[in-house]
Amino acid sequence: MPVKVENLTYVYMPNTPFEKKALDNINLEIKDGEFVGLIGHTGSGKSTLIQQLNGLLKPTFGKVYIDDISITDKGISLKSIRQKVGIVFQYPEHQLFEETVYKDIAFGPTNLGLTNEEIEKRVKRAMDFVGLDYETYKDRSPFELSGGQKRRVAIAGVLAMEPKVLILDEPTAGLDPKGRDEVLKQIKRMHKEYKMTIIMVTHSMDEVAQLADRLIVLDKGKIVIEGSPREVFNQIDTLEKIGLSVPQVKYLAKKLKEKGFNINEDIITLEEAKREILRLFKERKI
């Protein structure tokens, strides 16, 4: 089990007037090669939860296991945990600092104390992962790239650590549609071709409907729904009550059904919607 969380509670600034319980008794297991979508309203505790998974925040109560090792135990090297669990934070391009793309991506592997050849190999591989051409970009300054390119450099910086589990906090926030599609495409590829375990935090229901095997819905620090996207998105009322929504096509299907069309309401992606609507057309022989 690459990731397991037991009875996890986290309190920010305990024993001050600003005390805030951000996570409340979370239990969670993530399997090898799974793609998990983490959704929840603003302030529900998503970012807090993912920071527990590589020891950036320490649980107030409860345990976190990575590869069956409890990461808060004495003598556990956090560096080795952080190598296994890579986190790409929100707006990761704000953390770029080196003169060249190469050096920035090499920062992680260098910290791991790898040899120069190994570092170069990993930088090449990481750039290939995110679809940046090595020769074209390696000597450019990261600060002169476009927003989408910057973000991909930042993601490559985490990938170069070659983590088993990759966590992405709103990887598409603030990108234009083209940048967003590119980043999503790369994430999908990492999951499909390289069998990475992925946890993605997002506000876009359409994105997780398309990509995730399983969804975890947080509200006020608690897990309220868990299941496949299809199961989760069937609970429209609960989701809307906690300030979330379901994929656009789901609303479309509902409207069509109300108008008397015999449409399968269980669709969640654009692809499925297309198929259903084409089927309807054929049945009516229009």
State yes or no: residue 97 binds other proteins (CB under 8 A). Answer: yes
Q: Which helix (H) or strand (E) holds 12?
A: strand 3-12
CB of 65 to other proteins, least distance (A): 18
Q: In this chain, which stretch among 49-57, 189-197, 233-241, 260-268 interacts with other proteins, using CB under 8 A?
A: 49-57
CA 274 to CA 90: how far, in whole Å? Answer: 32
Spatial distance between the Cα atoms of 111 and 119, rounded to a whole number of angstroms: 10
Q: In what order do the strands lie in the sheet with 222-227?
A: 85-88, 165-169, 197-201, 35-40, 214-219, 222-227
Q: Taking CB within 5 to 8 Å according to partner kind, which of other proteins, ligand ATP, Mg ion, none is near residue 44?
A: ligand ATP
Among 3, 23, 66, 158, the residue binding other proteins under the rule CB under 8 A is 158
* Choices 46-54, 74-82, 211-219, 261-269 (CB under 5 A): range interacting with Mg ion: 46-54
Yes or no: say if 256 and 234 are a contact pair by the CB < 8 Å rule. Answer: no
Q: CA-to-CA distance for 153 and 162, rounded, in angstroms?
A: 15
Q: In whole angstroms, how close is the CB of 88 to other proteins at the nearest point? A: 8
One residue of 13, 73, 115, 258 binding other proteins per CB under 8 A: 13
Q: How far apart are CA 193 and CA 125, in angstroms?
A: 13
Residue 21, helix vs strand vs coil: strand
Which is closer to other proteins, CB of 167 or CB of 184?
167
By CB under 8 A, tell whether 79 contacts other proteins: yes
Nearer to other proteins, 168 or 175 (CB): 168
Distances (CA, A) of 125 to 25, 131, 162, 182, 192: 39, 10, 9, 17, 16
The H or E element that residue 91 is part of is: none
| Touching other proteins, residues 161-190 (CB under 8 A) | 161
Half-sphere exposure of 195 (CA within 13 A, CB side): 3
Interface with Mg ion includes 47 (CB under 5 A)?
A: yes
| Binding partner selected for residue 223 from other proteins, Mg ion, ligand ATP, none, CB under the kind-specific 5 to 8 Å limit | none
Residue 48 CB, shortest distance to ligand ATP, in Å, is: 3
**In the complex, which residues of this chain contact ligand ATP (CB under 6 A)?**
12-13, 20, 22, 40, 42-48
Look at phi and psi of residue 56 and say left if phi exceeds 0, alpha if psi is from -120 to 50, else beta. Answer: alpha
Instruction: Say if residues 191 and 199 touch (Cβ distance below 8 Å).
Output: no
Q: Smallest gap, in angstroms, from Cβ of residue 52 to other proteins? A: 12
44: number of CA atoms within 13 Å, CB side? 20
CB closer to Mg ion out of 47 and 83: 47
Compute the least distance from the CB of residue 172 to ligand ATP, in Å.
13
Report the partner that residue 20 touches, choosing among Mg ion, other proteins, ligand ATP, none (CB closer than 5 to 8 A by kind): ligand ATP
Q: Which stretch binds other proteins (CB under 8 A): 65-73, 108-116, 121-129, 224-232?
A: 108-116
